[in-house]
Structure formats: structure tokens, C-alpha cells
Amino acid sequence: MSTYLKPIKVALGSDFLTAYSRLPHTQQKKTREFCDKFMQNPAAPGTNFERINGARDANLRSVRIDQNYRGIVLQPERGDVYVLLWVDKHDEAYAWAERRICQVNPDTGALQLFEAADESQTQHSSVASSGGKTPQAARFLFDPFQDAELLSLGVPRESLPLVRSLQNDEDLDKAERSLPQDAFEAAYLLAAGYSFEEVQSELGRKMPEVAVDTGDFSTAIENEESKRSFIVLSDHQEMQKILAEPLAKWRVFLHPSQRRLVETNAKGPIRVLGGAGTGKTVVALHRSRWLAEHVCKADERVFFTTFTKNLATDIQENLKQLCSWETLKKIEVTHLDGWAVSFLKKRGIHCQPAIGDKADELWERAVQLTPEGGCFTSSFLREEWIQVIVAHGIESLQDYFKISRAGRRKRLGRKEKQGIWPVFEEYRALLTEHGLRELGDIHRDVRQLLQRERGPRPYRSIVVDESQDLGAEAFRLLRELAPVELGNDLFLVGDAHQRIYGHRVVLSQCGVEVRGRSRRLRVNYRTTEETRRWASRILAGTSIDDMDGGLDDDKAYRSLTHGAAPKVQSFKTLKDEHVAIVQHVEALTESEHNLPEGICLVARTGRLVESYQKALQEAGFSTYLVKHGETDDQSKKGIRVATMHRVKGLEFDHLILAGLSEGALPPHSVDADEMDDVILRERCLVHVAATRARKTIFVTCHGRFASILEPSV
């Protein structure tokens, strides 16, 4: 029986998990054993807390893991709070602790951990780069803001001189380690041009209603802002589960803006936009769990869906890590097309989506009816079929005459429409003959059946990942699947910068009204800032929509981690490129921290992937092909190889983006009238692939780089 009168709170810091993941296996085992005992009684005599001489923070203590390793723990004077902050070799752990401060911010009430700034960091180091001006004559980055404003956004009082000394974005990047994460994020948004009020709104920062007790760590660690970096543990089983996968931090820590989206009670559909790595899928996963646990009744379910089977498979595996078995039973995960085909099959209607080689063969037969002397290529007619005929459910020539072709570059009069209509009639007849249907037609058929049956809606709530790749009929079907009148019905996450299947929709025209319930995530937690900038340049100069008739604002989208700049090289021949890639992989695998499973080679087509895979295998490396419709099975050893389409939704420490040569992007001929759209999709595809990298990216080609990527490379 516990002898404590006050409840004891034992917590883990995010940095502790990072440090733990780097330990040798033997020390990981000893650390788990220590944590298990610590969880049961952190104040037990055997814990042996030791003060750290020279530490900036008097509340930090070291604890013994074994003869050579030490843990660093926050042990405040009052509050019965113990926070595991770091673990490392003896000297390294002490050096880490000497420079760290873990305290309650007096203005926000949040628990903050940061590295104390050196005096040299406040010496206006940018004077030389500003033309030799004195600090007094220079204009500093945060001059437009009052001290009280900076403090209210989380800047620690002792960090205020450092923040005031910053003159440009480069200075701000250098100061990142010396600021708490929440303060750095607020400072970045201010530097990006946001007003103080906009940053408050964006981050949800509010002044505490009562004065903050800076000695009350027990209250501070429950602060919403604190939960982005600290978790209070309920029992030792929870601790052991977290330590079993220390790098799966997405299961444990949520940014306050993410948590608000996850736990909001919405009166209608919610749309969440955000660049690659901003945690959209993480939000969707946590949202589905929250809906299952707090909204769904015993007989109700959440439908979690997405565009491709690959992503649905990956999502199912992630939900298994996140949810209890009871919660998981309330969440159905299926890609939308497969669900729709299954729905029709249960009602005696058998069909398959018109995709792949068979559909291409039937299309080539149909286009033989193209009128002679016309200027219509096969690719133009195919896009006309998909974007106009299927998208609008056109069944007759008269309907085709009436329909708007907004967004299509080539104008068509009645004569031209009449001339090409036989192609569409023939293709539809061929599809029917072979039991095939276009996806848009399948979605429409299901929706109309549901409307005629007039039964209860199949699901209580729907969560959609990668929604930018869904077509208009898909959204109309989704609108039909959940009751709008009950709220918490649709939760859509997406990013048109990552649209790789060509669908453009206006949600309001599909019956999905998101006005007033649209949010953006702006902080990239996956990709380094250096890689993010390179990937963003691929889309420079393009207009990206927001899925509802407007343009997406990626203002202040940035990463909170830094690393090496992308390495970009071209080679004379494919063989030379193979040799360089093998050498790069050899250098990566020399480090004990780089497992082969954390390295992925990505190329545009399956044929290219086979070429690079063979080169790696001939050099003695084991490889694992991440296939369509299968998960990235971590029990399978070897360097990952995959197409650009397949890596969507995945992430790796090190990425090799190979074969970006002229002629490879796009990998087929394109009608001149469709070229702009095709090029944008190809650039989006490369952007998606590049942003799978957590740490480094190596970009290669043989010959010259594809011209559509200039000037990025």
C-alpha cells in the first residue's frame, strides 16, 4: 500500500524517448527495468537521486541506470511530480542536464524544456552580415512586438534578450535549440508575417484565468501546451507499451492545434488542410479513435477511408497500435472504391473498377471511332471522358451539349461534341460488356441505391485521409453515408499539393459544406527544413486549390527540425548512377544508427525500381520491395525500394530519389492540351516522394534532370 497522501505523477518527456531509442539493446533493457520500478515508487530509497553540479536548473537530478549510464529526472521541491527527461552515458547525460532548464512558464502555465542560451548568442552575431551596422542601428526581427506579447506567447523571460537580439530568419533558426518548442513556433509565425492576434488564434494561446504558480508542476504538466512534449503515465503497463516503440511519438504526443481538432464537437463537416509532414494522418487516426470512444453508441461505427488500398492497409496497422481492441471494433477501415464494389456485390450487382491494362485496351478500341481529320488525341479524349462525362454522370449527347466544361482548356462546339460522342458511347458499351465500371459511375450507383433504399445511414461518422485524391462523386457518396443532422459526421484531411490522381473538386458543390469549419496545420514534424524547402521549390509558381473553390495558403508552413541539405547529382550513364547510389548506401549503413529498413530508394516506375534494386542486390545489399496493396512489413529486413505512388503515406529516415531524368517525367507521351495538368501531377508526385524523408535525401538522374523539375534541381 502506498504511503503517499498526495497523488504521485510520473511522466515521460518526448526527448527521453528519443534518447532511449539510441541506446544499445542491453541498456534499453536496463532502462525499462528501471522505469518499471520508478513507476511503482519514484521516491524509493534505491532510486538514489543525485544533484548535478553546475546545472542551470536546480530541480534536475541524475538517477543510476547501471555503472555507465544515467537518467535525468525533473524532481521539483513540491507537487510529487517526477518527469523522466533524458538517458545517456554518464558524462553525456550530465553535460545534457547542465545546459537544460525545465520550468513552468509564468505567463502561459505550460511546462517548458529548453537549452539555456550562451551569452555569445545574444551578442548580435548578425552584425557582419548586415553590412557592419552596429546593433543599435540594426533593425531586429521582433521590434514590432511588445515584450508582454512575446512573453504571453511562451517566450521565457530569461530568453527575452536572445529573442530581442535576432535580426533575421537565419538567426532565428540558430536560436531554435535555446527556445522551448512552443515559443519557437510562435516566434516563427511572427517572423513569417503573422500579427500577434493571428498567432494567438493559430496556436490557441490564451492567458491563464488565474495567476500561474511557477512551483506547481503538478498543474503545469496537465496544461494543454505541455501535452505536446510530456505525458503523465497511468501505470507501468502504459510506460512499457510506449517504450516498446519509442519513435512512434505520434501515438503519445499531440500538438495543441491537433488535439483541438481531434476532440472538437462539430456541427457539420470539418476540413483539415496541411502540407506534407504536418500530422494530418495522425490527426485523422486520433480523431477516429475519439469518435469511436465518445460519439458512437454501442451499435454505431466510424468509417475510416481513403483513395487507395495501400493507404487503407497502412492506416489499419496504425490503428492497431493506437486503439484498444474494443475501440478498434467500432472503426471500419476500407478504401472507398473497394467498399463501393462490395456494397454493390451484396445487392447482386457485380462489377470491377475500370483501371489497369484491360481498361486501356478497351479504350484504344473505342478511340478508333474518333472522326477523321479531327485534332483529338487519345489522351485528350480520355481526360474529357474522366473530367466531364464521368464526373457529371452524362448519359446522353443532349446532356453533353448542356454541361459546362469549366477547367478544360480546349473549347468544343456542338459539332465537335457530336463528332466525338461515339467514342464515349462505344467505351461505355465495352466496359459494360466486360463487367467494368468507371469509379465515378460506381460511386454514383451506390449513392442512388442508398437514396432509394431510404434506410438508416451506414455509419455514425466518417474520417477521410488524403481527400484531395477523391473525385466529386466520391464526396457525394460520402455525404450520403453519415447523418449530417447529428454533427461529427465528416472529417476530411488533405493537401492539394499532394494530389497525384488529377481530381479537382469544390466540396460545396458536392453537398459538403465546410465554411467556418476549415483548419490548417502548418508545422512539419517529419521532414527537415532543408528538405521541405527543396520539395516546396518543385511546386514553385503553381496555384494550388483548397478543395473548395479557393487557393491554398501555405504561408508559414515550415519544419521544426534541421539537417543536411538535399544532395542532388546527375551522372553520365545509368551505370554511373547505380555506382553512386551503392556508394551512398554503403556510407549510410556504416553508421550503427542507420538500419537498412530506414532507407528507401524511390523511382517513378516499376521498371526503374527493378533496375536500381538489381544494382543494390549485386552490391550485396538485401532489399525489400514495398508492393501495391501491402504494408511495409518491418519484420522483413533490407533496404526498401518502391515506386513514387507506393510510398505515399510512408516515411523513412533516408530517401534516395532516383532516376529523375529527362524523359522519365512524365513516363509517356502527353497531349499538348493536357500537358500543364500532367506536369503539375508529376511535380506533385515528386514533391510527395521527397517529403517521405525524415533526415536525408539523395536525388539522382542519368543524363540531364527532367526539365519539369527546373529550377528545383
Q: Please state whether the peptide bond connecting residue 666 to the residue before it is cis, i.e. omega within 30 degrees of 0.
A: yes
What integer is the mean pLDDT of 288-309?
Answer: 95
Average pLDDT of the residues of the chain: 90
- Of 188 and 628, which is predicted with more confidence? 188
- Sign of dihedral through CA atoms 693, 696, 702, 705? positive
121 pLDDT band, cuts 50/70/90, is low
Confidence check: pLDDT of 186 > 50: yes
Residues 6+ apart with CB under 8 A from 705: 570, 660, 661, 662, 713
pLDDT confidence of residue 120: 59
Residue 568: exposure state from Cβ atoms within 10 A (0-12, 13-18, ≥19)? middle
| Domain range annotation of the chain | 9-104+219-244, 118-204, 254-346+456-537, 355-437, 564-709
Residues 6+ apart with CB under 8 A from 203: 153, 182, 185, 186, 189, 256, 257
Could you give the CA distance from residue 389 to residue 440 in angstroms, rounded to a whole number?
Answer: 10
The fourth-level CATH superfamily of domain 9-104+219-244 is RelE-like (3.30.2310.20)
Could you give the CA distance from residue 679 to residue 685 in angstroms, rounded to a whole number?
Answer: 10
Quick: pLDDT tens for 49-61.
999 999 999 999 9
Q: Which amino acid is at 417?
A: K
Confidence check: pLDDT of 124 > 70: no
In contact, 431 and 256? CB cutoff 8 Å: no
Cell digits for 450?
442508398
Residues 6+ apart with CB under 8 A from 346: none
pLDDT confidence of residue 2: 44
Q: For domain 254-346+456-537, which architecture applies?
A: 3-Layer(aba) Sandwich (3.40)
pLDDT confidence of residue 4: 41
Other CB atoms within a 10 A radius of the CB of residue 550 amount to: 10
Other CB atoms within a 10 A radius of the CB of residue 6 amount to: 10
Lowest mean pLDDT among 36-50, 102-116, 351-365, 667-681: 667-681
pLDDT confidence of residue 44: 85
Could you give the CA distance from residue 526 to residue 247 in angstroms, rounded to a whole number?
Answer: 12
Share of the chain above pLDDT 90, in %: 68
Question: In degrees rounded to 5, what are phi and psi of residue 352?
Answer: -130, 150
Q: Are strands 599-603 and 652-657 parallel, antiparallel or unpaired?
A: parallel
Quick: pLDDT tens for 642-685.
999 999 889 999 999 999 999 898 877 776 667 788 889 999 99
E-state strands within 540-645: 558-559, 567-571, 599-603, 623-625, 639-643
711 pLDDT band, cuts 50/70/90, is low
Estimate to the nearest angstrom the gap between the alpha carbon of 208 and the chain centroid. Answer: 31
Q: Are strands 50-51 and 60-64 parallel, antiparallel or unpaired?
A: antiparallel
What integer is the mean pLDDT of 29-57?
Answer: 91
Quick: pLDDT tens for 599-638.
999 999 999 999 999 999 999 999 999 988 788 888 899 9
Confidence check: pLDDT of 238 > 50: yes
Confidence check: pLDDT of 225 > 90: yes
Residues 6+ apart with CB under 8 A from 216: 78, 79, 104
Do domains 254-346+456-537 and 564-709 share one topology? The answer is: yes
Confidence check: pLDDT of 1 > 70: no
pLDDT confidence of residue 589: 93
In contact, 438 and 418? CB cutoff 8 Å: no
Using a cut of 0.75, tell me whether the model's pTM lies above it.
yes
In contact, 106 and 68? CB cutoff 8 Å: no
CATH no. for 564-709: 3.40.50.300
Quick: pLDDT tens for 65-79.
999 999 999 999 877
pLDDT confidence of residue 530: 93
Tell me if residue 712 falls in helix, strand or coil: coil
Q: Averaging pLDDT over each range in 80-94, 170-184, 380-394, 496-510, which range is the top one?
A: 80-94
Tell me if residue 51 falls in helix, strand or coil: strand
In contact, 318 and 282? CB cutoff 8 Å: no
How far apart are the two ends of the chain, measured CA to CA in Å?
Answer: 65
